[in-house]
Amino acid sequence: MSVAEPRRIVLFRHAKADWPQVTDHERPLADRGRQDAAVAGRKLTDTGIPVELALCSTATRTRETWKLAVHEFPRRPKTVYEERIYEASPGELIALLNEIQDDVRNIVLVGHNPGIEGLAEILSGAAEDDARERMTRRGFPAAAFAVLAFDGSWKSLEPGAATLVDYWAPSE
């Protein structure tokens, strides 16, 4: 891998969840969410990003989303289930990303709104093509993902340091 190649972060919101009589943390995916998670996995594969590490919230709906999405990948990346992602603010998520070892180039972070959408907005100082316009128009619905690229170490990741290079949502 070239030293000049940027690092990439895929910010992936969990798919549509159901509302049974359980705690928020334990909410499972709805039927549509299970379908959208698999489609999102195929779309993530289509980006060609060789994801090396997945950081996934411990909530049931994020774990189910990731399990269905990663099934579409040609190679399963190392997955770490991280409690700190659940209900995390964009700042808390940046602090978590700053902890990643520099030998990791490409990651996916599977989490929740408003943290995921806020993080995409805060990190992306620039955007390619119409990615920002599409993300602004659509928001960050369930099963959506944004791909950001940046140069430097994970410890140097800060607001405005990345470029929004791609965005996808189930109705795209």
Average pLDDT for 148-161? 97
Give 132-143 pLDDT, tens digit per residue: 999 999 999 999
The dihedral through the CA atoms of 138, 139, 142, 144 has a sign that is positive
Tokens of 159: 């607001």
Residue 2 — very low, low, confident or very high, per pLDDT cuts 50/70/90? very low
Does a cis peptide bond (omega within 30 degrees of 0) precede residue 141? no
Average pLDDT for 150-167? 97
Residue 169 identity: A
Q: Considering all CA atoms of the chain, what is the largest pairwise distance in Å, rounded to the nearest integer?
A: 50
Residue 172 — very low, low, confident or very high, per pLDDT cuts 50/70/90? low
Nearest CA to 152 among 37, 10, 3? 3
C-alpha separations of 106 from 100, 131, 139, 151 in Å? 10, 19, 24, 12
Residue 5 — very low, low, confident or very high, per pLDDT cuts 50/70/90? confident
Say if CB 125 and CB 133 are below 8 A apart.
Answer: no
- Residue 3 pLDDT exceeds 60: no
Say if CB 135 and CB 113 are below 8 A apart.
Answer: no
Alpha helices in the chain (DSSP H): 31-46, 60-70, 90-97, 115-123, 131-138
- Residue 131 pLDDT exceeds 60: yes
What pLDDT does residue 4 have?
65
Residue 1 — very low, low, confident or very high, per pLDDT cuts 50/70/90? very low
Nearest CA to 9 among 112, 76, 68, 94? 94
At 148 the three-state DSSP class reads strand
Q: Left (φ > 0), alpha (ψ -120 to 50) or beta: where does 106 sit?
A: beta
Give 69-110 pLDDT, tens digit per residue: 999 999 999 999 999 999 999 999 999 999 999 999 999 999
